[in-house]
Amino acid sequence: MTQSTPSSTRILPWLLSAALVTGCANIQDDQKRTQAEGAAAGAVLGALVGYAIDRERGAAIGALIGGGAGFVVGNEIAKRKKAYANTEDFLNAQIARVAEFNRTTLAYNDKLHREIASLDRESKRLQAQYKSGAVKKQTLVSKRNALNEKIAGSKKLEQTLVQEQQVQSQILADERKTRPANDPYIRKLEHEVKTLQGNIDTLRSNNTQLAQIDPRLSV
């Protein structure tokens, strides 16, 4: 596999981000743009899930949503609103975006839950084999390194989802000030944000269980 140069590593995330934003902004039909943004969000999150599983598959895209230093909720909301002519189209886009996040995260959590069960059994087996002299120290070291990469990637995904939840919660707080109490857009977004919080809680629990495997591989 060809390794990225330092300059390409810096440039690629910017190009990918610009392509997603420009691609959605150039769609004139609001409904199609809403659908495109939902699909783009799913693609980016899907790549980030790939990052959580395999660093090389999604490392460049992982920075697009993760935010890191300088992430500001208000700035993120303002940036998203610029692409839409009215609030209803903007809210539809956010509903589609969070729904896509939820579908992808649900699938990731299910996969991670199965992996944790497998890693739990394997770590216990390796620990016993190491104590009996059946395997060498390097076997446990290699397995632990792979586990720590998985933990780091999964934590990155958790951070990304928390930031998205913060953005959407602020959008709801802002829109409740001016929209009717039973507004359908608010109700739909509230449902998706509540579901997202549940998915975050599940991921956080999975990450805790994943981290608890690490001490068994420490030699």
Kindly give, in sequence order, each residue whose CB lies less than 8 Å from that of residue 146, ignoring residues fewer than 6 positions away.
none
Neighbours of 90 (CB within 10 A): 22
Quote the pLDDT of residue 179: 94
Which is nearest to 155 in space by CA: 215, 73, 211? 211
- The pair of three-digit structure tokens given for residue 161, joined into one six-digit string: 């989802």
Amino acid sitting at position 10: R
Given this model, what pLDDT does residue 156 score?
A: 86
Measure the CA–CA gap between 39 and 126, rounded to whole angstroms: 42
Distance CA(168)–CA(86), nearest Å, equals 17
Residue 58: its pLDDT value, please? 36
Low-confidence spans in the chain with pLDDT less than 50? 1-23, 51-70
How far is CA 199 from its chain centroid?
A: 11
Return the pLDDT at 17: 45
pLDDT of res. 180:
93
Whole-number pLDDT of residue 10? 39
- Report the pLDDT value the prediction gives residue 41, as an integer from 0 to 100: 55
pLDDT at 71 (0 to 100) = 59
pTM confidence score: 0.72
